[in-house]
Chain A
């Protein structure tokens, strides 16, 4: 069975500082990987995705993530955060093969950007 672990439930960071949100998955086969963002009182929006190709993926709002197969990780990074980045971030994985038509989501990381 696949699972997704987001190691930090809360990450406070000062404005203009860099941030890394960690995500690890457990799967013995290839995966598709996603990061979603949820702003307060809204639904989830896709931030970026890894399907194949380059392991460094760039998304919206200056975020990027790196797929590391050997460490089964897909950490999200931003070099300089803004107040408006305050939100909850979810990592999600879908296993490459099999009949399951669903994503497995991590438990989420609340990013709070402080002035």
Chain B
């Protein structure tokens, strides 16, 4: 009963390097999300997906790309890392559907801490 699993948990990059964060969920959820968490700023949505093969931009998408080739996986890529991307990244998923039924309560992963030097 893993829920939402993020890999890696920690990563240190040099400016200009690229990397991919992997998010996997085993709950058959339709919707998946990538957030970043910075001190004093709460969580900000980077990109999200409402189904396999679909992605959409959130509040802070610049510098990131995503892919959802399989329903259970949502990948977040940094093509050329910058120090401003130092953050804790959280993946989340939800069943999708009518908000009034509670179908979009988010289940979060444990986070991935990224440092860009």
Q: Do A and B bind each other?
A: yes
Q: List the interface of chain A (C-beta within 8 A of B).
A: 4, 6, 9, 32, 34, 36, 41-46, 49, 51-52, 90, 94, 101-103, 105-108
**Min CB distance, A87 to chain B, in Å?**
13
Interface size class of B (residues with CB under 8 A): 20 to 34
- Residue with the highest number of chain B CB atoms closer than 10 Å, among A43, A44, A102: A43
Interface residues of B in 1-60 (CB under 8 A from A): 4, 31, 33, 40-45, 48, 50, 56, 58-59
Inter-chain contact total with CB atoms closer than 8 Å = 59
Interface string of B83-117 (1 = CB under 8 A from A): 00000001010000001111011101111000000
Chain B binding surface SS class: mixed
A49-B105, A108-B42 provided; 15 other pairs, C-beta below 8 A?
Answer: A34-B105, A43-B4, A43-B110, A44-B106, A46-B105, A49-B102, A51-B100, A90-B43, A101-B104, A102-B45, A103-B45, A105-B43, A106-B42, A107-B40, A108-B40
Residue contact B106 to A103, C-beta cutoff 8 Å: yes
Closest 5 CB pairs of A and B: A43-B108, A105-B42, A105-B43, A107-B42, A44-B108
